[in-house]
Amino acid sequence: MTDDATNHHPAHLELGVCDYPEQVSPQNWAEDARQQKALGLRYVRIAEFAWSRLEPQPGEYAWAWLDTAVELYAAAGLEIVFCTPTAAPPAWLIEQHPEILPIGRDGHTKTFGSRRHYDFSSPVFRQHSRRITRALAERYGQHPAVVGWQTDNEFGWGDTAHSFTPAARQGFQTWLQQRYGSLDALNTAWGNVFWSMEYSGWAQIPLPNQAVAEVNPSHALDFLRYSSDQVAEFQEEQVAILRECSPGRFVTHNYMGFFSAYDHYRVSRCLDFASWDSYPTGTLEALREWKLADPALALTYARTGHPDVTAFNHDLYRGMGTGKPGSGGETVPGFWVMEQQCGQVNWAPSNPLPPQGAVQLWTQQAWAHGADAVAYFRWRAATSGQEVLHSGLLRQNSTPDRGYPEVQALKVEDLPLGRVPARVAVLHDYESLWLYNMQPHADGMNYWAQVFAYYRALRSMGQDVDLVHPDSDLSGYALIVAPALTLMTPDRAAHLAAAAQHAHMVFGPRTGFRNESGGTPRTDSRAHSPRCWACRC
Amino acid sequence: MTDDATNHHPAHLELGVCDYPEQVSPQNWAEDARQQKALGLRYVRIAEFAWSRLEPQPGEYAWAWLDTAVELYAAAGLEIVFCTPTAAPPAWLIEQHPEILPIGRDGHTKTFGSRRHYDFSSPVFRQHSRRITRALAERYGQHPAVVGWQTDNEFGWGDTAHSFTPAARQGFQTWLQQRYGSLDALNTAWGNVFWSMEYSGWAQIPLPNQAVAEVNPSHALDFLRYSSDQVAEFQEEQVAILRECSPGRFVTHNYMGFFSAYDHYRVSRCLDFASWDSYPTGTLEALREWKLADPALALTYARTGHPDVTAFNHDLYRGMGTGKPGSGGETVPGFWVMEQQCGQVNWAPSNPLPPQGAVQLWTQQAWAHGADAVAYFRWRAATSGQEVLHSGLLRQNSTPDRGYPEVQALKVEDLPLGRVPARVAVLHDYESLWLYNMQPHADGMNYWAQVFAYYRALRSMGQDVDLVHPDSDLSGYALIVAPALTLMTPDRAAHLAAAAQHAHMVFGPRTGFRNESGGTPRTDSRAHSPRCWACRC
Amino acid sequence: MTDDATNHHPAHLELGVCDYPEQVSPQNWAEDARQQKALGLRYVRIAEFAWSRLEPQPGEYAWAWLDTAVELYAAAGLEIVFCTPTAAPPAWLIEQHPEILPIGRDGHTKTFGSRRHYDFSSPVFRQHSRRITRALAERYGQHPAVVGWQTDNEFGWGDTAHSFTPAARQGFQTWLQQRYGSLDALNTAWGNVFWSMEYSGWAQIPLPNQAVAEVNPSHALDFLRYSSDQVAEFQEEQVAILRECSPGRFVTHNYMGFFSAYDHYRVSRCLDFASWDSYPTGTLEALREWKLADPALALTYARTGHPDVTAFNHDLYRGMGTGKPGSGGETVPGFWVMEQQCGQVNWAPSNPLPPQGAVQLWTQQAWAHGADAVAYFRWRAATSGQEVLHSGLLRQNSTPDRGYPEVQALKVEDLPLGRVPARVAVLHDYESLWLYNMQPHADGMNYWAQVFAYYRALRSMGQDVDLVHPDSDLSGYALIVAPALTLMTPDRAAHLAAAAQHAHMVFGPRTGFRNESGGTPRTDSRAHSPRCWACRC
């Protein structure tokens, strides 16, 4: 991030809202902006999913309406977070290039009609992604009211991080060729002698979605890495354009809680900080399904979400940060809650109304966990489409919904000092997650549940916890816990051994059971004595 | 219905049976007919699924066997209800025109080998449907023993009301063009600005079965309307031929309990009255799945079905009737139970034996709810095919099964006077059902459960209930209950307001939350004050 | 089996192990073989899944490594059971002939990447199966250390016994033509008049996987017979080559517990004896799903498996034997446990560690039920691929895992005399199983549960039980129990009637309800008085 961008690290929590002016009559815009500012909001996030209005016909941009909206927000004193609109490619683009459509695990081509109907591996969509990003960034990138960017929206939503198109297959084969150089190296790394899975040509390597039964975990692991790289590269292409055309603005992405279809550390590398979309009542199924806590608590917390679950995700996405200078000069990772639930949602199996005070509580909790800003989703409830049962700060009929007065009553300047540095680190990496969940070995075993069990125990002892990557800087922690660090490399083992010089270490089951390729450490020669990879004991 | 047809409205309950002479040796036919008449049956329903015997080779009709069977029934004094055999297109037709086959939601083409393997949108199947209907109607339509017709069989069984073929896609696009005139109108009605779903060409509009996630409910709603229209038009084509070739006979269709894949009011318009197939023990899964009642009752009622569930469907299908003159000159809707369970069925997860007396009880209940006739399914248990575990009045070995003596002992003339006019109306429409069930918002929420809860409460107070369409004549009711009337139009609101002048009104949750397009009433301008669409309070 | 082969019938239980030398460094081989022999093992099973190492490029065999391994086993005094490697066709073969790949029930082509990715109906794969079998048999068939063969591995694993390829459809139609001669005969046998399912051309007959709803059970039954014949013929082609090139060696196949996708009696005809792969802790889901016993017992027996479940499968596969001369000259069916669990497995929902003593217990139980040999799976735990969480006698790091000392402590010579002849026969056939499970008629009804209920009751009375085919020799039994013998033919009825002269007979529900075609006995003419097909009472 450039120096200018760091200006956005706030002295106190800042508030914002997600708005979709294109979805309401323009006669509302000026009053909406005024009302937003009066409510104490600083930021408005816009243009997400607006592609069909930005470019109604191929190559014909329609800026007038957005120019007007931007000026009205600016005039009201709001700061704008712009979104690249790529999460919703328009119908004409799909008609021109149906090969953009992703193919699901089941082998069926997804259609237009929802969102995220694109394959990250599609070269033609990559080109259009760059084109629309550049057009938008050139038009608004240096507008004084524009302070930052969100790339796309919720990468991977709707099971779209993994696509099984011919382009993905070709891309995966090329990626493997670059990674391994030779088929011998790949066959050895994957241990393909098992079940005669050895390849004698790159073109023989299938995508891992239609095998007779589970594929080699090494095969699946590399496909997940490949897919993560596609998401990352897709975003990097947009970010490069935004850096060029919109200097001094931050760039972030709004992730989803617990989402694990790609490596969020890998994807976050090019960002200034990570954001996530916090919907506490929507996480109860995760609690129930993964048994994160006593399932009976799902009812207790039905209307607020389980507090540790929300906190866990705050700590998780804070940990994606590459680190920014704090007020005292030290590095303080920050994050945003880019979408904050402010009433009932619509997408969980059950969507109860949050109780009085929940919106304030969630906002304060975000601040306590280090959020720089919280933006409510959304200004007005939608009057059409898939989310009409989702609340906003305003109802469909323009009257305030229940979150509104709670936001109004918030005094962000009076909130106690935010997060204090944690002395405990819990180690998390997506590659271990994938290996764990691919082969849980026991019914109900789940990586998140395993990590969360330690997290909760630490929280119940009053400890602040950092969730960090095992290869990150571990100095400064008194206790380092690795609940499910099953993938171990010699470098990682050395790094942990060094950390063990100053910190207590706790390791969970299957620590170091897998090597970088997803196999087990190969110690089949009696010449090598076995030893623990984790602590070299 | 013509005047002749009204002759079939009976002074007392009439009985009948479904028979498949083509499935047994002709040496049984005369004795079977004699035995049916002796049992007190007036009607025999035949020729359902008999296409391969009526037209063994393309264009070569084989009438001889059916001529014989018809004469034997007539000679025995039975009256015949003929079926059009279109629910089971023969193998040679599928071989000639594989494009007739439906494509399921999962994108796979269904094959021959069961029944209902046709796409309602298929022009070529429509033509063959008309052809075989005309051939049959010309041959038997004016036979003195023939008193009525059943079109096809159980439209939509096997999830076939919605097909996802190229023909359906083309048909849907054309239907939309006719409904909306312009893409602007469609985009506005569906609110396609949400998620950039706007269309700039009719050919861009996909069927709603393979999107990344749920489609716009407005999109889905119109597809369900389109599909309903296909079922309706398919039937209307047959009915027009039957009216022409078989004057003075009634035409009906046998619906399935709780089935909701098309708008039964729309499809019923061309019928004289509706029929349904009543299998009380088969409905227990609905009770359990939708929690229509305490699931523990599923065991209590395992062998009889829950009485309110059966009653609900009687009242539902009676309400499809367009109204016929009653004995006192007033309009009395009638209906038939075209297939009445008379022993164990075979298609539910569990198929217990009905207890002694159940067959009589079910028959009497049908009469009490306004049925004009009850036809048992079936005369003889099948000796081959998918239903060998389904009972008939006779066993496979020609001996009476348990229903037989119960029918024998029935004195239909002695049954107390049938249904009395209801003072309570419960409003039901399929469009509200679709919107409710598409987005239930709470786990376990279900339209039928919502409507049934009110129905049961009213029944427990001893009230007779009419289940009627909200736009139907509501005069004469003292109480009108709308448990789940979520789709509201200005006209409907006015109609209900008028009804409220003479009746007490009760509205359930989400009443009037949706407009005709499935969005919410658009009141985003502060210039319009919001108000309740239902009661204009 | 030839006389030579009978030499392998042992005076006491023999032990063996499954080994995959190609998966470990050759520097281990000599010591591994020495250690195996020292552990008391007689047999080593090898070359399963080794095709990619036996033939790395089309037609280029690589024998050197296997020559070395064979000599090292032989030098250590081990006897070798060779496998044909056809369960894992190499990638180059699939690239050359993608039509080898099976198509699943869902219509999707399976890909390379796991195992069993071949269609039994594929002519080109049949040819390659014969070719690699001959190459292997010619190379090693007469090696003095080679004592027997296992064909392929676990036929049908991964739902591959039924394939839905164009080749399978063509093969099925030809098979039907040979079975029925005319379409009239087929239409009559299947009772296709029901639902107009009559065929007027062989090419019209579809595979039974994509119909609108369930297909005619007669259709499904014949497809299961066809599929069984494909498995049988596939194996027979290999066995003929093995008999020719490797005289005097036994041939067996390793079946899976409770597996029922093909007729194991039909497939076993060409074998000397049957083997099966015994994983007691992996069978608990069957216990729970089929309610073979109180589901609460699933926890009690989580670490050992339910003893009657294991015993049932021993008795089941012993009953596949065609009978060999026993020590006293009488016919004694034998069987092998070709893969015996010796630690945790990896493929069940939960895979707990077996308790101390379990490996000995399982071994002894196999002997008590008539096993001639027990081979542990596997020597070393895998270091790559799908089974790294599956134990072996050695861990990945060459140290003994928990099964090792138990095997070491076994004194096979001291085990009490094995199985005594049973006086009770329980009748089992796969055709009845298919018909039962196709149309269970009651939730939770399941063929295996029905048979097991009787088996368990008999076991609890201290009875040894033979599980035998109803058409097999039934002399010598005092009690014959047919828990679910729903398919009855006149010949079978006569055979049972003869058996009833000397034995008590017990029949379960639905006995004799189905004829050979899967319909019911056709007694619709009143001229025939009905009677019980089973006992002709």
Average pLDDT of the residues in C280-303 = 89
Residues of A in contact with B209 (CB under 8 A): 111
Q: pTM of the prediction?
A: 0.95
Q: B487 forms bridges with which residues in the sheet?
A: B514
pLDDT of residue C6: 43
Confidence at A417, pLDDT banded by 50, 70, 90 = confident
pLDDT > 70: percent of chain A: 93
pLDDT of residue A105: 96
Q: Please state, as a whole number, how many other Cβ atoms lie within 10 Å of the Cβ of residue C317.
A: 30
Q: Which three-class secondary structure string do you get for A107-141?
A: CCECECCCCCCCCCCCHHHHHHHHHHHHHHHHHHC
Kindly give, in sequence order, each residue whose CB lies less than 8 Å from that of residue C98, ignoring residues fewer than 6 positions away.
Answer: C109
Residue C440 C-alpha, separation from nearest chain B C-alpha, in angstroms: 8
Average pLDDT of the residues in A285-305 = 90
pLDDT(A537) > 60: no
> B157 vs C213: CB contact, 8 Å cut-off?
yes
Residue in chain B nearest C184 by alpha carbon: B56
Query: Is the Cβ of A62 closer than 8 Å to some Cβ of chain B?
Result: no
Of B481, B483, B448, nearest to B463 by C-alpha is B481
- Rounded distance, CA A376 to CA A45, Å? 10
Of B485, B515, B207, B519, nearest to A387 by C-alpha is B519
Interface of B with A in 389-448 (CB under 8 A): 439, 441-443
Give the position of tokens 């990352």.
A232
Task: Read off the pLDDT of residues A155-175 as tens digits, 9 standing for 90 and up.
Answer: 999 999 999 999 999 999 999
pLDDT of residue A402: 92
Question: Is-contact C199 B91, C-beta < 8 A?
Answer: yes
pLDDT of residue C523: 61
- Rounded distance, CA C212 to CA B104, Å? 9
Query: Is the Cβ of A322 closer than 8 Å to some Cβ of chain C?
Result: no
pLDDT(C430) > 70: yes
Task: Read off the pLDDT of residues C136-191 as tens digits, 9 standing for 90 and up.
Answer: 999 999 999 999 999 999 999 999 999 999 999 999 999 999 999 999 999 999 99
Residue in chain C nearest A521 by alpha carbon: C383
Average pLDDT of the residues in C25-37 = 97
Residues of B in contact with C210 (CB under 8 A): 108-111
Helix (H, G, I), strand (E, B) or coil at A424: strand
Helix (H, G, I), strand (E, B) or coil at B495: helix
pLDDT of residue A392: 98
Of B77, B80, B112, nearest to B93 by C-alpha is B112
> A524 vs C50: CB contact, 8 Å cut-off?
no
Confidence at A7, pLDDT banded by 50, 70, 90 = very low
pLDDT(C1) > 80: no
Residues of B in contact with A117 (CB under 8 A): 211-212
pLDDT(A322) > 70: no
Helix H or strand E encompassing A46: strand A43-46
Kindly give, in sequence order, each residue whose CB lies less than 8 Å from that of residue B230, ignoring residues fewer than 6 positions away.
Answer: B120, B121, B168, B171
**Considering CB atoms only, which of B91, B349, B383 is closest to C520?**
B383
Average pLDDT of the residues in A298-318 = 95
pLDDT(A499) > 80: yes
How long a stretch of residues is chain B? 537
pLDDT(A5) > 60: no
Residue in chain B nearest C221 by alpha carbon: B385
Residues of A in contact with C380 (CB under 8 A): 524
pLDDT(C482) > 50: yes
- Rounded distance, CA C106 to CA A106, Å? 10
- Rounded distance, CA A47 to CA B4, Å? 66
Query: Is the Cβ of C486 closer than 8 Å to some Cβ of chain B?
Result: no
Q: B340 forms bridges with which residues in the sheet?
A: B278, B376
Q: Which two tokens stand for residue A38?
A: 């009066």
pLDDT of residue B11: 82
- pLDDT tens, per residue, chain B with 537 residues: 334 444 445 789 999 999 999 999 999 999 999 999 999 999 999 999 999 999 999 999 999 999 999 999 999 999 999 999 999 999 999 999 999 999 999 999 999 999 999 999 999 999 999 999 999 999 999 999 999 999 999 999 999 999 999 999 999 999 999 999 999 999 999 999 999 999 999 999 999 999 999 999 999 999 999 999 999 999 999 999 999 999 999 999 999 999 999 999 999 999 999 999 999 999 888 888 999 988 888 889 999 999 999 999 999 999 997 655 545 555 567 999 999 999 999 999 999 999 999 999 999 999 999 999 999 999 999 999 999 999 999 999 999 999 999 999 999 998 987 787 899 999 999 999 999 999 999 998 999 999 999 999 999 999 999 999 999 999 999 999 999 999 999 999 999 999 999 999 999 999 999 999 999 986 655 544 444 444 333
Of B255, B251, B254, B225, nearest to B238 by C-alpha is B251
Across C433-476, the runs of DSSP E, i.e. the strands, are 465-468
Query: Is the Cβ of A270 closer than 8 Å to some Cβ of chain B?
Result: no
Give the position of tokens 């919502």.
B450
Residue C216 C-alpha, separation from nearest chain B C-alpha, in angstroms: 5
pLDDT of residue C323: 56
pLDDT(C7) > 50: no
Task: Read off the pLDDT of residues A327-351 as tens digits, 9 standing for 90 and up.
Answer: 555 556 799 999 999 999 999 999 9
pLDDT(A536) > 60: no
Q: Which two tokens stand for residue A107?
A: 């082998």
Kindly give, in sequence order, each residue whose CB lies less than 8 Å from that of residue B350, ignoring residues fewer than 6 positions away.
Answer: B284, B302, C441, C442, C443
pLDDT(A323) > 60: no
Question: Is-contact C431 C229, C-beta < 8 A?
Answer: no
Task: Read off the pLDDT of residues C43-71 as tens digits, 9 standing for 90 and up.
Answer: 999 999 999 999 999 999 999 999 999 99
Confidence at A285, pLDDT banded by 50, 70, 90 = confident
B80-89, C287-296, C374-383, range with the lowest pLDDT: C287-296
DSSP B529: P
Radius of gyration for the alpha carbons in chain C, expressed in angstroms and rounded: 24
For residue B249, give Cα distances in angstroms to B6, B63, B149, C277.
9, 21, 7, 67
Query: Is the Cβ of B95 closer than 8 Å to some Cβ of chain C?
Result: yes
pLDDT(C4) > 50: no
- Rounded distance, CA C264 to CA A483, Å? 46
Query: Is the Cβ of A128 closer than 8 Å to some Cβ of chain B?
Result: no
Average pLDDT of the residues in C452-478 = 96
Residues of B in contact with A298 (CB under 8 A): none
Sheet order of strands, B14-18 included: B250-252, B146-150, B79-83, B43-46, B14-18, B371-377, B335-341, B274-278, B254-256
Active site residue C95: no
pLDDT of residue B4: 41
Q: Which two tokens stand for residue A217?
A: 């975990």
Give the position of tokens 């071989």.
B95
Q: Which two tokens stand for residue C465?
A: 């039980």
pLDDT of residue A9: 57
For residue B183, give Cα distances in angstroms to B178, B179, B522.
11, 10, 19
Average pLDDT of the residues in A316-326 = 75
- Rounded distance, CA C454 to CA A242, Å? 73
Q: Which two tokens stand for residue B154?
A: 């159980």
Within 13 A of B263's CA, how many CA atoms are on the CB side?
Answer: 24
Query: Is the Cβ of B120 closer than 8 Å to some Cβ of chain C?
Result: no
Average pLDDT of the residues in A125-147 = 98
Question: Is-contact A319 A466, C-beta < 8 A?
Answer: yes
Q: A161 forms bridges with which residues in the sheet?
A: none
Residues of C in contact with A214 (CB under 8 A): 114, 386
Query: Is the Cβ of A194 closer than 8 Å to some Cβ of chain C?
Result: yes
Active site residue A339: yes
pLDDT of residue B10: 72
pLDDT of residue C3: 41
Of A290, A283, A346, A343, nearest to A310 by C-alpha is A283
Helix (H, G, I), strand (E, B) or coil at C189: helix
pLDDT of residue C421: 86
Of A180, A158, A167, nearest to A114 by C-alpha is A158
Q: Please state, as a whole number, how many other Cβ atoms lie within 10 Å of the Cβ of residue B123.
A: 12
